[in-house]
Amino acid sequence: MRIDSHQHFWKFEKEKDAWIPDEMSVIRKDFFPENLKPVLERNKVNGCVAVQAAPTENETKFLLNLAKEYEFIKGVIGWVDFTGDNLEERLAYFSKDPKFKGVRHLLQAKPAGYMLQPQFLKGMEAFGNFNLTYDLLVLENQLANTIELVSNFPNQKFVLNHLAKPNVSKGISKKWKELITKLADKKNVSCKLSGLLTETENFNWKPKDFYPFFEFALEVFGSDRLMFGSDWPVSLAAGQYSDTVNITEDFFKTRNEIVLEKIMGLNAINFYQL
């Protein structure tokens, strides 16, 4: 089974979605499951994990409601306030839905030290009681703190989004490589091969531009902790859905069929318990 471990849905609202810059005007519109379903079918992808794109509980409810209606949405990564007084109550509420698989915060928009503040750490500790996963949306300058965070919670399952958004056009930097290596040493951390199309300058790229990043990720995370993610519809600013599939598949099919099956679906199924 092939699973897209990372995509989004939204009803576009100019104020709410102000994070979408002018150069991504192609995605300044609604994207719903009926838009994605035929795309998945054409690319022989059997299901997906819908990830929050707005830091509200309404976003979590929106995605869970879509998942009830559309069987191919296998799991939802929502948002819950880790600093709220009623965190455990809210997690218990959402956990009643079997498709609620975890939480993501927009940490990339926070100061580097935010994730190590006592209130956030207290929230992460409480989160650990619910057998859920945590998606890490961070940048390179936050990786040192991310390593400390995941070290504090060795039994919590984490997954890095978008390889911490390296500048693909400039190639692998020494600092990024060192930090990703240290993060990958933490066996409770997996990694999504997602979101890289839009980390290119002026969205100009060739498939081979991504291969060094895939090669390095495979080296440090191994074939059991990597998963394909399209980052649709954000990725449409830089290419087609088929590009995200083909780039990943063309690289990993040069290994062997088992590795390819893990990256393209089995690892996501195991990580998120789909």
Q: Tell me the per-residue pLDDT of 163-201, one tens digit each, with 9 for 90 and over.
A: 999 999 999 999 999 999 999 999 999 999 999 999 999
Report pLDDT for 20: 73
**What are the pLDDT digits (tens) for 89-101?**
999 999 999 999 9
Instruction: Say how far apart CA 247 and CA 244 lie, in whole Å.
Output: 6
Max Cα–Cα distance, the chain, nearest Å: 50
pLDDT value at 17 more than 70: no
Q: What is the mean pLDDT of the chain?
A: 96
Report pLDDT for 24: 79
Averaged over 94-109, what is the pLDDT? 98
Q: What tokens does 67 get?
A: 């998942």
Averaged over 109-122, what is the pLDDT? 96
How many Cβ atoms from other residues are within 10 Å of residue 241's Cβ? 21
| Cα dist from 19 to 16, 54, 57, 80, 139, whole Å | 8, 10, 18, 20, 16
pLDDT value at 18 more than 70: no
Q: What tokens does 4 get?
A: 């897209």
Residues of the chain above pLDDT 70, percent: 99
Domain ranges of the chain: 3-272
Residue 160 or 13, more confident: 160
Report pLDDT for 19: 67
Report pLDDT for 228: 99
For residues 5 and 229, the answer to whether their CB atoms sit within 8 Å is yes
For residues 82 and 124, the answer to whether their CB atoms sit within 8 Å is yes
**What are the pLDDT digits (tens) for 25-82?**
888 889 999 999 999 999 999 999 999 999 999 999 999 999 999 999 999 999 999 9
Q: Would you identify the CATH topology of the domain 3-272?
A: TIM Barrel (3.20.20)
Residue 6 sits at φ, ψ, to 5 deg, of: -160, 105
